[in-house]
Amino acid sequence: MKISNDTLNILSSFTDLNNQIQVKPGSNLVTVSSTNSVLANAKIPETFDQEFCIYDLSQFLSAVSMFESPDFDFSDKTVNVSNGSGSFFTYVYADPRTIVVPPKDKLGIVGEDVSFSVSADTLKSLFKAAAVLSLPNIVVRNNNNDNLEMNAEDVKNPTSNKYVGNITENALFPSASDFQFVFKVDNMKFLDMDYDVKIISDKKVAYFYNDVIEYWVALEHNDTYFNLE
């Protein structure tokens, strides 16, 4: 079996959330962060025939990268990864009881309070600013009931540095409301892509999605939503 570079890149991005993974039969890769704050689900071109678990995903992917175009032979307890010329390595599956596994059911997204689209470039700028200025939060808030801001800042320190970005594309929210939604930067280790976003305040969750991947991200407890009509 061949695994595409796109799928390997998705797996590599998942290591930022959880360095362990349980792969189920089918064409989806699902992971949950070690803090249970982020759930990710990716659609892939390959179809896996059986369940298996990897305890150290970074190590596994590093080993896979030794081969330019590896073949994967999955068995009940191990996978053999070969380069087509006789060299291979055998990787032993983990016991699912020893790793953090996703919930059985996906989260439902009903009745969003705020929705918008955000580009890969905007997210890249936000994450770069957060890293350069040592800011722990990404914040979505309205700006004079006109448009949305998506900022990198420290909500616990009003006098700290702040990076402000405007979101105008497909932004929908109640006009007579003031709100802010707070995320940890560490919970937003996304693939570098454009996303549509829905935020559901009473569920304390935001849903980032496109045709390839979807993320459910927990809102922080210091968010607010008020003056909603």
CATH number of the domain within which 149 lies: 3.70.10.10
**Residues 41 and 85 reside in one and the same domain:** yes
Asked whether residue 5 carries a pLDDT value surpassing 90, the answer given is: yes
Do residues 102 and 32 lie in contact, with contact meaning Cβ atoms separated by under 8 Å?
yes
CA distances from 43 to 25, 37, 40, 80, 81 (A): 12, 21, 10, 24, 22
Same domain for 47 and 120?
no
* CB-CB contact of 30 with 40 (8 Å): yes
The reply to whether 108 falls in a domain is: no
Separation between Cα atoms, residue 180 and residue 221, nearest integer Å: 11
Give the bridge partners for 28, in sequence order.
43
Q: How confident is the model at residue 74 (pLDDT cuts 50, 70, 90)?
A: very high
Confidence of residue 222 (pLDDT cuts 50, 70, 90): low
Decide if 105 is inside a domain. no
Q: Are residues 80 and 141 in the same domain?
A: no
pLDDT tens for each residue of 139-170: 998 866 667 889 999 999 989 999 998 776 77
Q: Is the pLDDT of residue 49 over 70?
A: yes
For residue 75, give Cα distances in angstroms to 51, 87, 89, 91: 10, 18, 13, 10
Mark which of 73, 98, 123 sits at the end of a domain.
98
Of 44, 68, 98, which residue constitutes the final position of a domain? 98
Indicate whether 191 belongs to any domain: yes
- Separation CA 222–CA 160 (nearest Å): 17
Q: Which of 32, 28, 207, 14 is nearest to 118 (CA)?
A: 207
Axis crossing angle, helix 57-64 with helix 5-14, rounded to the nearest 10? 150
In a domain, 176, yes or no: yes
Let me know whether 146 and 68 are in one domain: no
Question: What is the phi/psi pair of residue 58, to 5°?
Answer: -60, -45
pLDDT in tens, 17-40: 999 999 999 999 999 998 889 999
Q: How many domains does the chain have?
A: 2
Domain of 200, in residue numbers: 114-226
Average pLDDT over residues 3-30: 96
Start-end of H helices in 78-214: 120-132
Report the distance separating Cα 207 and Cα 222, nearest Å: 18
Tens of pLDDT along 169-195?
A: 777 877 667 788 999 999 999 999 999
